[in-house]
Chain A
Amino acid sequence: MKLWLSFIVALLIAVAAPAFGALYPSGGPHSTDNDDSCDIALLPAATLLLPYYEVDFGAGGKTTLFTVMNVSNTERIAHVTVLTDRSFPLLTFDLRLAPYDTRSINLYDVIVGGRIESCDGPETLSAEMLARVRKAFTTGIVPVDSRLCGSISGAGLNAAGFVTIDLVASCTTLTLHDRAYFTDAIRFDNVLAGDYQHVDPRNGPAEGSSLVHIRAIPEGGDAGTRAVDPKYQVNFPGTFYGRYQDPAPPLDARQPLPTVFVAPWETDRRAGVATSWIIWRDVRSRDPHTCGYSEIDDGRLVFPEIVRFDDSENAIGEGVDAPPCSCLPTGPETSAAGRYADDHFLQFEDVDSGWLYFNLAEWLPSGEWRPSDPKGQAWVVASRTFGSASTMADAVALGNGCSRPAAESEISEGLATLGPAPNINP
């Protein structure tokens, strides 16, 4: 009996180990495998996020370009969803990517020119559709199912928002708001990579970064297979597209994004040095929009805590009290908060550098958090200008997307010590 049992255990370990890769019982990391962590890294992914775009409707103005690569030897379809800054999916189109293909998209061509890619080649949107798109961006109003939906964008002069690019099985008209998108359309192979540029030909500077690479973990299979095969069980506490599937269990298996970020800031008006921020956010506990799309009341999100450090380690912070204080900065889901940090956040007087701490977790009235609670997601990009030149860098997260949300720090009269998230996640 002993021998049989030992043999079975040994056999199980021998079979399981190669199937799932090396899992180390002690020390670290527990797994050295690819696509086996909650960390957002620059590795091929199943979803790419362009956290912010801005397009001037006039010719020769601001625009955003992005490039998508298929780094595999198989044809793939990438489904592009252009969302407004209030997360309304305004436009979708597909990119049929041949093996090792790359495709560059200028969003001016799409939003203003109406020239989109499709599985049948380039297409041009009708004048009626183009007018709808323009109206949606500039007035925030769009007709949906014979009704007029309002507040679906910030209604500015330019088109602004964010873009998601998902690996899908075949060309589709489904959107993120369709349950079938997650049961039939999306795929789970990490084979997409890409980057983007913000270009402002009138004023000169260009800035860019990599798209946010969000991996499907475990990789592979399709929704049907994954639902019945335990090896595809997803161990994340939440997923990137979880809010679109709530209350059903999320099927997308995409890594969740973090909620806490830090980045240096610098400002010197006389020298023409300034810092601005691009902030993408996702808050799950939203009231359903009257038109069936989820959005938060008046489309503005409270930043739960902002702490500004100067270069002498002095800190000022502001956190959310209950109920949220109206004096706290707010913004739409994705927002370039102006070209100067002091446009939006707490300021020191006569100080020109330091760093900023963003806690963008979802604010919970109870103050307590359980792994089953929504946590929110975010991405922060810092842009620094030097006269006519500009640079951009993603901010450093203080934990991965599986970390529990950070409590209000002692700097803002909370109790928590501000710093990297604990290593052990719930």
Chain B
Amino acid sequence: MTKHHCCPILLLLIVTLSGEAAVYPTAGPRSTDNDDSCDIALLPAATLLLPYYEVEFGAGGKTTLFTVMNVSHTERIAHVTLWTDHRFPLLTFDLRLAPYDARSINLYDVIAGGRIESCDGTQTLSAEVLARLRKAITKGIIYVGSESCDQISGAGPNAIGFATIDLVASCTTLTPEDPAYYTEAIRFDNVLAGDYQHVDPRQGTAEGSSLVHIRAIPEGSDAATRSLDPRFQTNFPNTFYGRYQDPARLKLDGRQPLPTAFAVPWEADTHRGIATSYTIWHEAESVTSRRCEGRWVNDYARLFLTEMVHFDAEENPQRETVSSGVYYPYGTETKAAGRYANDLLPTSFDPRYEHSGWVYFNFREIHSSGRKAQAWVIATRSEGRTASARDTAALGNGCSPSPTPSETPYGGGALGPAPNVNP
């Protein structure tokens, strides 16, 4: 009797756990496979995020370059979306990548010169479209159909925003804001890789890093097959593009979500010309957004930072938190937050006396849909005319629950790495 019941149960466990992959029921890691975790790692991906770009319209000024590689032996299409710093999808174009192809894009050529790649080769935008783009960037105004949308960008002299690069099935004019993008366009093979550089020829500076590699998990197939086959069920609590999908079908993109909390070393010494700045990509709260001719626009496009704790070298913390319903307007949704740490840090810290430490950023923000915020932080250390940038350590993966505000006189949890067990 016992045998009759034990064997099917054991068999079921063995088949379930080892049928697809090396999965271990106990100890760790439970899976040693590739493309089988919520961790953002430098591995080929289905979406690449350029968290920040800045392009000067004048020749020989600041620009951002990025390179995309297809590391597979099959032709692939990468769909590039350039977003403003208020998350308006300004321009899309496709890169037809031959097997093992690499393509470098100078965003000055695209935004100021109007030279874009397409599936039919290089194209040049008309003068009219270019003027429209420039107005959208410098004035924050764009005409969509007969309607004028304002505040679609920070309206500064330079073009600022971020870019997403998605693997798609074929060339498309859809954007990540279109529901059909997730049912028809995007694909789920982790075969793209790349990096970027911010270059300022006038100042003679350059800084760069890898693009953020966001994998589709499970990998493979197309949206139609995935929605029917339980092998392709996505176990993430939310996904990178969840914001743009039907709340009832939030995970069609299958992309890893980004983390929420980061730890960033800083250094500042005005006498020696040392400073730290931060490049922050952050998905702002959807409830503050409005729609303009079918496109989401953030009304305030502010960086909602729930908590920032600034430790000096003696481990003294200075903290700022957000009380319920009140947000500190630290900047636009994506912004290089200035070349000096004290642009962002509490004014009680004086870089003349406090020279180093680390900063804790908590971008916790529960969206009305129940999704949590996502962010990416890059620290740039500059000394005189030289600068170096690097991604910063997250304190949990994108599946970790949003950290509650840290220890205060009123309660809160201990600041530190997220618990290992995620819901």
Chains A and B form a bound pair: yes
Contact between B71 and A313 (Cβ–Cβ < 8 Å)? no
Whether A37 contacts B415 in the complex (CB less than 8 A), given A1-B2, A390-B206, comes out as: no
Shortest C-beta distance, B402 to chain A (Å), equals 14
Whether A391 contacts B206 in the complex (CB less than 8 A), given A217-B29, A396-B44, comes out as: yes
Q: Which of A193, A233, A266, A418 has the most CB of B within 10 A?
A: A193
A residues less than 8 Å from B234 (CB atoms)? 27-28
Q: Is B337 an interface residue (CB 8 A)?
A: no
Contact between B29 and A73 (Cβ–Cβ < 8 Å)? no
- A393: contacting residue among B6, B208, B317, B415, CB under 8 A: B208
A-B Cβ contacts below 8 A, count: 373
Whether A67 contacts B34 in the complex (CB less than 8 A), given A235-B24, A309-B100, A389-B204, comes out as: no
Q: Is A324 an interface residue (CB 8 A)?
A: no
Q: Is B109 an interface residue (CB 8 A)?
A: no
A residues less than 8 Å from B315 (CB atoms)? 98-101
Q: Is B124 an interface residue (CB 8 A)?
A: no
State A102–B358 Cα separation when bound (angstroms). Answer: 7
- B32: contacting residue among A73, A204, A237, A315, CB under 8 A: A237
Contact between A263 and B195 (Cβ–Cβ < 8 Å)? yes
Segment among A77-85, A118-126, A207-215 that sits at the interface with chain B: A207-215
Shortest C-beta distance, A40 to chain B (Å), equals 6
Size of A's binding interface in residues, CB under 8 A: 108
- B193: contacting residue among A2, A27, A262, A384, CB under 8 A: A262
State A234–B213 Cα separation when bound (angstroms). Answer: 27
Shortest C-beta distance, B208 to chain A (Å), equals 3
State A5–B39 Cα separation when bound (angstroms). Answer: 37
State A421–B21 Cα separation when bound (angstroms). Answer: 14
Contact between B392 and A210 (Cβ–Cβ < 8 Å)? yes
Contact between B43 and A400 (Cβ–Cβ < 8 Å)? yes
Segment among B131-139, B160-168, B327-335, B383-391 that sits at the interface with chain A: B383-391
A residues less than 8 Å from B205 (CB atoms)? 389
Contact between A399 and B23 (Cβ–Cβ < 8 Å)? no
> Across the two chains, which residue of chain A brings its CB closest to B31?
A30
State A199–B387 Cα separation when bound (angstroms). Answer: 10
Contact between B26 and A230 (Cβ–Cβ < 8 Å)? yes
- A29: contacting residue among B104, B195, B217, B395, CB under 8 A: B217
Whether A204 contacts B44 in the complex (CB less than 8 A), given A24-B235, A37-B39, A99-B315, comes out as: no
Segment among B111-119, B225-233, B290-298, B300-308 that sits at the interface with chain A: B225-233
A residues less than 8 Å from B416 (CB atoms)? 71-73, 191
A residues less than 8 Å from B33 (CB atoms)? 30, 38, 402, 423-425
Whether A419 contacts B420 in the complex (CB less than 8 A), given A25-B17, A209-B390, A236-B29, comes out as: no
Question: What is the predominant secondary structure among interface residues of chain A facing chain B?
Answer: loop
Contact between A22 and B16 (Cβ–Cβ < 8 Å)? no
Which residues, 1 to 35 on A, are CB-close (under 8 Å) to B?
1-2, 5, 9, 16, 18, 20-35
A residues less than 8 Å from B98 (CB atoms)? 313
B residues less than 8 Å from A101 (CB atoms)? 315
Contact between A5 and B415 (Cβ–Cβ < 8 Å)? no
State A207–B387 Cα separation when bound (angstroms). Answer: 7
Contact between B25 and A23 (Cβ–Cβ < 8 Å)? yes
Q: Is A252 an interface residue (CB 8 A)?
A: no
Q: Which of A26, A313, A397, A417 has the most CB of B within 10 A?
A: A26
Q: Is B38 an interface residue (CB 8 A)?
A: yes
Q: Which of B29, B219, B357 has the most CB of A within 10 A?
A: B29
Shortest C-beta distance, A342 to chain B (Å), equals 17
Shortest C-beta distance, A1 to chain B (Å), equals 5
B residues less than 8 Å from A266 (CB atoms)? 104
Whether A219 contacts B420 in the complex (CB less than 8 A), given A100-B315, A419-B191, comes out as: yes
B residues less than 8 Å from A219 (CB atoms)? 28, 420
Q: Is A422 an interface residue (CB 8 A)?
A: yes
B residues less than 8 Å from A263 (CB atoms)? 195
State A28–B16 Cα separation when bound (angstroms). Answer: 13
A residues less than 8 Å from B385 (CB atoms)? 204, 388
State A391–B378 Cα separation when bound (angstroms). Answer: 14
State A391–B237 Cα separation when bound (angstroms). Answer: 35
- B230: contacting residue among A27, A193, A194, A388, CB under 8 A: A27
Q: Is B181 an interface residue (CB 8 A)?
A: no
Contact between A42 and B391 (Cβ–Cβ < 8 Å)? yes
Whether A37 contacts B204 in the complex (CB less than 8 A), given A43-B397, A217-B29, comes out as: no
Chain B interface (Cβ < 8 Å from any Cβ of A): 1-2, 5-6, 9, 16-17, 20-44, 67, 69, 71-73, 98-104, 190-191, 193-195, 197, 199, 204-210, 213, 217-219, 230-237, 263, 265, 267, 311, 313, 315, 317, 356-358, 360, 379, 381, 383, 385-397, 399-400, 414-423
Sample of 18 more A-B contacts, CB < 8 Å, known A18-B421, A30-B30, A195-B390 = A1-B1, A23-B23, A26-B20, A28-B233, A28-B235, A30-B31, A32-B397, A33-B30, A34-B39, A41-B39, A43-B397, A100-B317, A100-B358, A193-B263, A195-B392, A232-B27, A235-B22, A309-B102
Query: Could you jot down 21 A-B contacts, CB within 8 Å?
Result: A1-B1, A9-B9, A16-B25, A26-B230, A29-B236, A36-B31, A39-B34, A41-B397, A42-B392, A72-B417, A100-B311, A208-B381, A230-B26, A235-B27, A237-B32, A313-B101, A394-B210, A420-B44, A420-B190, A425-B22, A425-B33
